[in-house]
A and B are shown apart, each in its own frame.
Chain A
Amino acid sequence: ELQLLESGGGLVQPGGSLRLSCRTSGFTFTRYAVSWVRQAPGKGLEWVSGMSGSGGATYYADSVKGRFTISRDSPKNTLYLQMNSLRGEDTAIYYCAKIRGPTIVPLFDYWGQGTLVTVSS
């Protein structure tokens, strides 16, 4: 069964850092791109960052560029999101989502359950 399981969320002060993890199973991790998508409380969806299946390409939304870094550990089938210089507007549920098909096109067919990040003093 294909699964994505996020962890690492929590309460952090403005300016602080947090690292999210997305442990995957049930598909060939190095063949499919995976992205992070977030949802502020009561708001819509915002694509945040993505990494190609090969790991050779990374992409970021303008709102997080220079503050967030996406990476992965292929033997562990795990994707990470290192979040630095956090702001109140980064407060959201962070989902990892698998891209449909062996492309980089951000169409998401499987999602994790999400992990909540709260940035507050």
Chain B
Amino acid sequence: DIQMTQSPSTLSASVGDRVTITCRASQSISPWLAWYQQRPGTAPKLLIYKASTLEDEVPSRFSGSGSGTEFTLTISSLQPDDFATYYCQQYDSFSSTFGQGTKVEVK
């Protein structure tokens, strides 16, 4: 199975901050990388797919980049709604795997 590793595990930030989360795959998966946001007690929400394509109705402050084995999710100006846990996911194969998650918390 392809292993996905996110960093950091926890990130403390303030409203208005620029935030970057990194995801590394154990082998090349380009461009089959997605990002999800999960707020407590709710299901994950798709933010970005194919590494950099924004899902419909997702705010433009979210962006994704990367290729091969290294990818990033950037939030250009953190908003109150953005405090949540973020997961990367490779979907290069049907045996899809997720990263362990990055919790963005209030500083």
Residues of A within 8 A of B (CB): 44-47, 50, 59, 61-62, 95, 97, 100, 104-109, 111-114
B87 within 8 A of A: yes
Select A46's contact among B32, B42, B46, B98, beta carbons within 8 Å: B98
Closest to B4 in A: A44
What is the interface size of chain B, counting residues whose CB is below 8 A from a CB of the partner?
Answer: 22
Would you list 14 pairs from A and B whose C-beta atoms are within 8 A, ordered by A residue? A44-B87, A44-B101, A45-B36, A45-B98, A45-B101, A59-B95, A62-B95, A104-B94, A105-B32, A106-B96, A107-B46, A107-B89, A112-B43, A113-B42
Q: How far is the CA of A100 from the CA of B42 in the complex (A)?
A: 19
Closest to A4 in B: B43
B100 within 8 A of A: yes
Mostly helix, strand, loop or mixed at chain B's interface?
loop
State whether A113 touches B43 (Cβ < 8 A): yes
Residues of B within 8 A of A (CB): 1, 32, 34, 36, 42-46, 49, 55, 87, 89, 91, 94-101
Select A111's contact among B44, B91, B94, beta carbons within 8 Å: B44
Shortest Cβ gap from B22 to chain A (Å): 16
Q: A100-B49, A107-B49 are in contact. Are A45 and B91 (CB under 8 A)?
A: no
Residues of A within 8 A of B49 (CB): 100, 107
Q: How far is the CA of A111 from the CA of B16 in the complex (A)?
A: 29
Residues of A within 8 A of B55 (CB): 109
Residues of A within 8 A of B97 (CB): 47
State whether B46 touches A100 (Cβ < 8 A): yes
Q: How far is the CA of A32 from the CA of B99 in the complex (A)?
A: 25
What 6 additional pairs, Cβ within 8 angstroms, besides A45-B36, A45-B101, A108-B46? Answer: A44-B87, A45-B89, A105-B32, A106-B94, A109-B46, A114-B43
Select A50's contact among B34, B42, B89, B94, beta carbons within 8 Å: B94
The 4 A-B residue pairs whose C-beta atoms are closest, nearest first, are A111-B43, A106-B96, A45-B98, A47-B96
Q: How far is the CA of A50 from the CA of B91 in the complex (A)?
A: 13
State whether B43 touches A44 (Cβ < 8 A): no
